[in-house]
Amino acid sequence: MTDLTVTGASALAPRGKSLLELDERTRRRNAAETRFRMMGLVAVLVGVFVLVFLLGSILSNGLSSFRQTYISLDIFLDPAKLDKGGKRDPAEIAKVTTFGYAPLIEKAMADAMAAKGVTGDGVSAKAAGELISKEAAADLRRYVLAHPQAIGTTVNFDLLASGRIDGYYKGRVTMESAKLDRNISPAQLQLADKLKSAGILVTHFNWGFFTAPDASDTRPEAAGLGVAILGSVYMMVIVLVLSLPLGVAASIYLEEFAPQNRFTDLIEVNIANLAAVPSVVFGILGLAAFINFAGLPQSAPVVGGLVLTLMTLPTIIIATRAALKSVPPSIRDAALGVGASKMQAIFHHVLPLAMPGILTGTIIGLARALGETAPLLLIGMVAFVRDYPAGPPEGFFDPASALPVQVYNWTQRGDPAFIERASGAIIVLLVFLILMNLSAIILRRRYERRW
Amino acid sequence: MNSISSMNTTTTTTKASPMTETKISARNVQVYYGEKHALRDVSIEIRPRSVTAFIGPSGCGKSTFLRCLNRMNDTIDSCRVEGHILIDGENIYDAKVDPVQLRAKVGMVFQKPNPFPKSIYENVAYGPRIHGLARKKSELDDIVAASLQKAGLWNEVKDRLHESGTGLSGGQQQRLCIARAVAVSPEIILMDEPCSALDPIATAKVEELIHELRTNFTIVIVTHSMQQAARVSQRTAMFHLGLLVEENDTDKMFTNPDDQRTQDYIMGRFG
């Protein structure tokens, strides 16, 4: 007690300095704090700037892919050309190839120009037909095969304009570039302008971008994400169905039941390591295990889903274990104290409380899997796939593409129109990712409990 | 771990004269946490329908011993228990004993109020439900009401049974935990410092409740408050450094203890 009073007295003695002026030490400490704050602010600003720049460039390149130029024509489905037998026999109609449909389109184009008083000005009927995508004839044929009764009638179609015409209205193609371009001439562009003012050439929302399959190098206007979106959705379904129960079961066992020994330590270390394994390695594993050994088909969502499941499992296990750990032990004690068995305590009390954390971890793991490209390249999902996979579950074994792979694919193509497509696909992918992360945040907000 | 060879002899000794009737009988209990010898040679007889208080400085092993009585220590991997603990003459560490059944008979109230983050009704109904004590909804309702009444909480919560149990005040939460323990009709209730997180008024209510529960249950309470031990218990046991120093009638313990260490602790010379 006496000691205390003595030190107290000495502490009370004036230090010889006023509180109103800063001493050297305080000044330096304050300066250090200011410096640190400024550095933090600069780091945040740099991050924000990079993000804005990235998003800005993607949006400026990609938003235009959601609008597309079409040529609206009334096409007479001439029975003399499409169904010579006149029996409306599908097998008979199918014998007419796309080349058989091109003259119909050319004729409709000439008719429309004549009707609206648009003159070709030296552009031949064939060259005028080139304003329309080569894909249009195929689309028309598909329509006729689906609706054979339409033969003999006149139907209004919005046919895809060719990639160059579409590019002209998106600023990608100019009169100067058209002079050097073998696929388009300035005269054709002038004709397009006339068609536009005549209301034949129209621009509207591009549903085909979301529904159409991929298209060849020379038809960027027809390329869509249909197969890729379907493939990605299939894979996410497989990943969710496999990794959530497996991951949660493994976590519960490791966290609640497993004895603490060398073996479980080894497992824990390896799970942590697996989470850090480069994803391309999982691709090689998938190639060796699922395709070469198990004999599953290449390019199939089932293989992609399995590989991504392996990749996502460690993430889910780590998140689930963290969520289980964060449930206060008092809840376990309370349940055990009234005579619940260990399993009842876990399933009735611990797991429901850990659920928001588990779901957040799962969704974030899924989001990572959705954006994963490298392992899919190795299992053949990079292939050019034009046919939609069948409905589930058979469709899981059909070849399909995936969103990030489609982006990768399109960036490899020569036609500049694919830059726009790739950016558009990135926007779609980002929207999916944002939606998933948003749902994770909402789940967390809604079910989070505080003790 | 526990030999049952001496079971019969022990059983006969515990069923002695009605004067020293015994509910719980511990014989040479040793508890180890890994290498650490946490409890040495504890032997104690606990009487039915009475309150026995365990006192002693922090880390002396009183909570450890309490948790041995319903095998809550089983949840700790490194914990090892040796010796015999007999409840109604049956060794609870026998290999044939399922801790789940044991804990239905020996309820527990913890230091920090730990209601489930569910409704008040669900908190109390959970135990009876998992033990299948009620066949119908109405029976369950009766059990919940009776348990809340026994815990002295009924009047405060009867209009909001379906509100969250975590929304109650600390004292109410602790009484809810007592109601939850009572709901499975245990014979023994263990309380591990039940009032340490409560204010004096809530503490008084819980103490009053312990007093009433004594008529139906055997209560063992761990407490840091000497005054509380003196107020609520009939018998007191003093632990120190893993040893049971002294066990005696509470009155004698606080006026004229046999052991010098008890005297020192009660006088506040250490601890």
One domain, residues A423 and A395: yes
pLDDT at A12: 59
Of A145, A174, A206, the last residue of a domain is A206
Q: Give which of A255, A257, A260, A338 to mutate to test B binding, by max B Cβ within 10 Å.
A: A338
Instruction: Tell me the two tokens of residue B26.
Output: 């511990």
What count of Cα atoms within 13 Å lies in the side-chain half-sphere of residue B222?
25
One domain, residues A201 and A230: no
Cis peptide, bond prior to residue A393, ω within 30 of zero:
yes
Of A171, A206, A241, the last residue of a domain is A206
Is B2 among the domain residues?
no
Better pLDDT: A291 or A128: A291
Please count the residue pairs, one from chain A and one from chain B, whose beta carbons lie less than 8 angstroms apart.
65
Better pLDDT: A8 or B77: B77
The arithmetic mean of pLDDT across residues B109-130, rounded, is 93
Q: In what order do the strands lie in the sheet with B51-55?
A: B106-109, B188-192, B218-222, B51-55, B235-240, B243-249
pLDDT at B5: 43
CB contact under 8 A, B107 and A337: yes
**Confidence category of residue A331, pLDDT binned at 50, 70, 90:** very high
One domain, residues A124 and A239: no
DSSP letter, residue A287: I
Among chain B, residues having any CB pair with chain A shorter than 8 Å are 70, 72, 75, 77, 100-101, 103-104, 107-110, 112, 114-117, 126-127, 130-131, 166, 177, 180-181, 183-184
Between CA A301 and CA A233 the distance in angstroms is 9
pLDDT at A119: 78
Q: How close does chain A come to B181, measured CA to CA in Å?
A: 6
The string of pLDDT tens digits covering residues A148-193 is 888 888 888 888 888 888 888 888 888 888 888 888 888 888 888 8
Query: Could you give the C-alpha distances from B9 to B12, B14, B17, B130, B186, in angstroms and in order?
Result: 5, 9, 15, 36, 27
pLDDT at A1: 43
CB contact under 8 A, A353 and B117: yes
CB contact under 8 A, A449 and B117: yes
Q: How close does chain A come to B129, measured CA to CA in Å?
A: 10
- Residue B105: give its domain's CATH number: 3.40.50.300
pLDDT at A405: 93
Tokens 């001493």 belong to which residue? Answer: A23
- Residue A314: give its domain's CATH number: 1.10.3720.10
Q: How far is CA A59 from the centre of its chain?
A: 14
CB contact under 8 A, B114 and A333: yes
CB contact under 8 A, A449 and B126: no
Instruction: Give me chain A's average pLDDT, please.
Output: 87
**Residue of chain B with shortest Cα separation from A344:** B130
CA proximity to A431, closest of A66, A146, A153, A85? A66
CA proximity to B190, closest of B107, B101, B85, B124? B107
A253-262, B9-18, B42-51: lowest mean pLDDT where?
B9-18
CB atoms within 10 A of CB A21: 8
One domain, residues A237 and A88: no
The string of pLDDT tens digits covering residues A222-233 is 888 999 999 999
Dihedral (C-alpha) A32, A38, A40, A43: value to the nearest 10 degrees? -140
Residue B174: left if φ>0, alpha if ψ -120 to 50, beta else—which one? alpha
pLDDT at B2: 45
Q: Give which of B79, B103, B109, B191 to mutate to test A binding, by max A Cβ within 10 Å.
A: B103
| Burial profile B147-163: b = 16 or more Cβ within 10 angstroms, e = fewer | bbebbbbbebbeeebee
**Confidence category of residue A319, pLDDT binned at 50, 70, 90:** very high
Q: Which residues of A touch B70 (CB under 8 A)?
A: 337
Between CA B202 and CA A144 the distance in angstroms is 83
Is A169 among the domain residues?
yes
Between CA A176 and CA A185 the distance in angstroms is 10
Q: Which residues of B touch A337 (CB under 8 A)?
A: 70, 72, 103, 107-110, 181
3-state secondary structure of B245: strand
One domain, residues A439 and A319: yes
Is the model's pLDDT at A74 over the cut of 80? yes
The arithmetic mean of pLDDT across residues A115-134, rounded, is 81
Tokens 């034949």 belong to which residue? Answer: A200
How many structural domains compose chain B? 1
**Nearest CB to A344: which of B115, B130, B183?**
B130
pLDDT at B3: 44
CB contact under 8 A, B116 and A331: yes
Is B192 among the domain residues?
yes
CB contact under 8 A, A337 and B75: no
Of A177, A206, A235, the last residue of a domain is A206
Is B1 among the domain residues?
no
Instruction: Give me chain B's average pLDDT, please.
Output: 88
Instruction: Tell me the two tokens of residue A378.
Output: 């190795």
Between CA B42 and CA A62 the distance in angstroms is 77
B247 is in which domain, residue-wise? 7-92+99-267
Between CA A437 and CA A368 the distance in angstroms is 10
The string of pLDDT tens digits covering residues B53-110 is 999 998 899 999 999 999 998 888 889 999 999 999 899 999 999 999 999 999 999 9
Q: Is the dihedral of CA A220, A224, A227, A233 positive or negative?
A: positive
**Nearest CB to A338: which of B101, B112, B180?**
B180
**Confidence category of residue B11, pLDDT binned at 50, 70, 90:** very low
One domain, residues A291 and A349: yes
DSSP per-residue string spanning A9-56: HHHHS--SS-TTS--HHHHHHHHHHHHHHHHHHHHHHHHHHHHHHHHH
Q: Which residues of B touch A334 (CB under 8 A)?
A: 110, 114-116, 177, 180
pTM: 0.81
CB A386 within 8 A of CB A227: yes
CB contact under 8 A, B181 and A338: yes
Burial of A387 (0-12, 13-18, 19+ CB in 10 A): exposed
Q: How close does chain B come to A411, measured CA to CA in Å?
A: 52
Q: How close does chain B come to A330, measured CA to CA in Å?
A: 6
Helix%, strand%, coil% for chain B, nearest 5: 40, 25, 35
Q: Which residues of B touch A260 (CB under 8 A)?
A: 77
One domain, residues A296 and A404: yes
CB A177 within 8 A of CB A105: no
Is B205 among the domain residues?
yes
pLDDT at A254: 92
Is the model's pLDDT at A135 over the cut of 80? yes
**Confidence category of residue B271, pLDDT binned at 50, 70, 90:** low
pLDDT at A4: 47
One domain, residues A231 and A336: yes
The arithmetic mean of pLDDT across residues B124-150, rounded, is 92
Query: Which helix or strand (DSSP H or E) is residue B235 part of?
Result: strand B235-240
How many structural domains compose chain A? 2
Is the model's pLDDT at A205 over the cut of 80? yes
One domain, residues A202 and A260: no
A349 is in which domain, residue-wise? 226-447
**Nearest CB to B114: which of A330, A339, A341?**
A330
Euclidean distance between the first and final Cα of chain B, in Å?
33
Is B207 among the domain residues?
yes
Is the model's pLDDT at B10 over the cut of 60? no
One domain, residues A248 and A388: yes
The pair phi, psi for residue A72, each rounded to 5°, is: -90, 115
Is the model's pLDDT at A68 over the cut of 60? yes
